[in-house]
């Protein structure tokens, strides 16, 4: 937490935070205890109506990422972050921290993993001394100081465009990974998964009013998924909240009856700068 503390801000008043033992304090006396697992909650207001990833989803994501099936996504996001100026990386919707850790490794320096999920924050806090994990609402004002970060990552996550513009330093980069229309198409109907809307990338450009597109690269390949990998892939995302686990298991068994299912991974990495 010490490595990223200068970039953080009090979620109530926006004041600078300083460490006092195991607590972060702002000049107005707002205090936030650092959990024994190494993360800090900087939530402001009631977040009880929001849905966060649970521990099972985070574990499924870790297992799936360990198979290497998403290596192309991980490498592409890290590469897109390299050319930004020196400064911290902020991953808004960081999950268990893999994309953030890869970007920080590629750049050197520090990173902030922000997510509403406490299980996600626990995993991110273990990523190394240069990475700090923060529990916060990505749709609200981010607990990050103005112009404090050099890169913002938004990977398969909601985008708070106005806040991204506020926290980015001049010359900073916003790196966004969005799913393509073919993403996981072989699983969508059989498993009742959430489908990707057509024109998603075009709508992204229209929503980022304070940014200009600098580069864009599409990535698409075929994954050969075992039943275990397919199960984790479904369980790690929002589709885990939909449908019957029993029905999903039966459908995956049918799809992988020959040993593996050919499934498309498709996504676009877009890099933006401030106007």
Residues in contact with 79: Cβ distance below 8 Å, sequence separation at least 6, in sequence order: 106
Domains of the chain: 5-274 (3.40.50.150)
Res. 97: pLDDT tops 80: yes
Q: Which residues sit in the known binding site? A: 26, 30, 70, 96-97, 183
Whole-prediction pTM: 0.95
Confidence of residue 116 (pLDDT cuts 50, 70, 90): very high
Q: Which residue has the higher pLDDT, 83 or 243?
A: 83
Grouping H, G, I as helix, E, B as strand and the rest as coil, residue 247 is helix
Res. 240: pLDDT tops 80: no
**Rounded mean pLDDT of 9-35?**
96
Question: Contact 99/131 with Cβ under 8 angstroms?
Answer: no
Q: Quick one: pLDDT at residue 163?
A: 98
Res. 201: pLDDT tops 90: no
Q: Report the C-alpha gap between 202 and 91 in whole angstroms.
A: 22
Q: Quick one: pLDDT at residue 5?
A: 97
Give the residue among 101, 103, 97 at the shortest CA–CA distance from 117: 97
Res. 198: pLDDT tops 80: no
Q: Quick one: pLDDT at residue 185?
A: 94
Alpha carbons within 13 A on the beta-carbon side of 259:
0
Res. 118: pLDDT tops 90: yes
Grouping H, G, I as helix, E, B as strand and the rest as coil, residue 115 is strand
Res. 242: pLDDT tops 80: no
Q: Report the C-alpha gap between 103 and 87 in whole angstroms.
A: 12
Q: Tell me the percentage of the chain whose pLDDT exceeds 90.
A: 84
Confidence of residue 60 (pLDDT cuts 50, 70, 90): very high
pLDDT tens digits, one per residue of 137-178: 999 999 999 999 999 999 999 899 999 999 999 999 999 999
- In this structure, of 39-43, 76-80, 137-141, 244-248, the range with the lowest mean pLDDT score is 244-248
Tokens at 10, concatenated: 């009090």
Residues in contact with 176: Cβ distance below 8 Å, sequence separation at least 6, in sequence order: 154, 155, 159, 204, 269, 270, 271, 272
Q: How many CB atoms lie under 10 A from the CB of residue 13?
A: 13
DSSP string computed for 13-53? T--B-EEETTEEE-TT--EEEBPTTS-EE---S--TTS---
Q: Report the C-alpha gap between 134 and 126 in whole angstroms.
A: 12
Mean pLDDT across the chain, nearest whole number? 94
Q: Which residues sit in the known binding site for Zn(2+)? A: 26, 30
Confidence of residue 24 (pLDDT cuts 50, 70, 90): very high
Res. 49: pLDDT tops 90: no
Res. 48: pLDDT tops 80: no
Res. 197: pLDDT tops 90: no
Q: Quick one: pLDDT at residue 247?
A: 87
- β-pairing, 111-115 with 89-92? parallel
**Rounded mean pLDDT of 204-231?**
95
Q: Which residues sit in the known binding site for S-adenosyl-L-methionine? A: 70, 96-97, 183
């Amino acid at each position: 937490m010490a490595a990223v503390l200068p970039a953080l801000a009090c979620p109530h008043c926006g004041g600078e935070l300083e460490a006092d033992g195991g607590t972060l304090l702002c000049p107005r006396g707002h205090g936030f205890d650092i959990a024994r697992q190494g993360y800090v909650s900087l939530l402001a207001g009631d977040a009880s109506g929001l849905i966060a990833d649970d521990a099972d989803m985070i574990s499924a994501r870790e297992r799936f990422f360990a198979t290497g099936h998403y290596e192309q996504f991980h490498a592409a996001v890290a590469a897109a972050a390299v050319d930004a100026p020196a400064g911290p990386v902020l991953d808004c919707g960081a999950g268990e921290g893999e994309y953030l850790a890869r970007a920080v490794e590629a750049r050197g320096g520090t990173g902030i993993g922000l997510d509403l999920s406490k299980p996600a924050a626990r995993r991110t806090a273990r990523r190394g001394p240069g990475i700090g994990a923060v529990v916060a609402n990505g749709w609200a004002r981010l607990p990050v100081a103005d112009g404090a970060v050099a890169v913002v990552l938004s990977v398969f996550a909601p985008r708070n465009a106005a806040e991204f513009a506020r926290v980015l330093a001049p010359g900073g980069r916003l790196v966004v990974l969005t799913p393509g229309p073919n993403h996981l198409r072989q699983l969508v109907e059989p498993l009742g998964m959430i489908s990707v809307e057509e024109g998603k990338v075009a709508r992204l450009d229209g929503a980022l009013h304070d940014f200009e597109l600098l580069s864009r690269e599409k990535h698409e390949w075929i994954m050969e998924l075992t039943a275990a990998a397919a199960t984790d892939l479904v369980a790690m995302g929002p589709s885990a909240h939909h449908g019957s686990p029993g029905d999903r298991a039966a459908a995956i068994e049918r799809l992988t009856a020959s040993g593996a299912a050919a499934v498309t991974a498709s996504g676009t990495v877009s890099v933006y700068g401030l106007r």
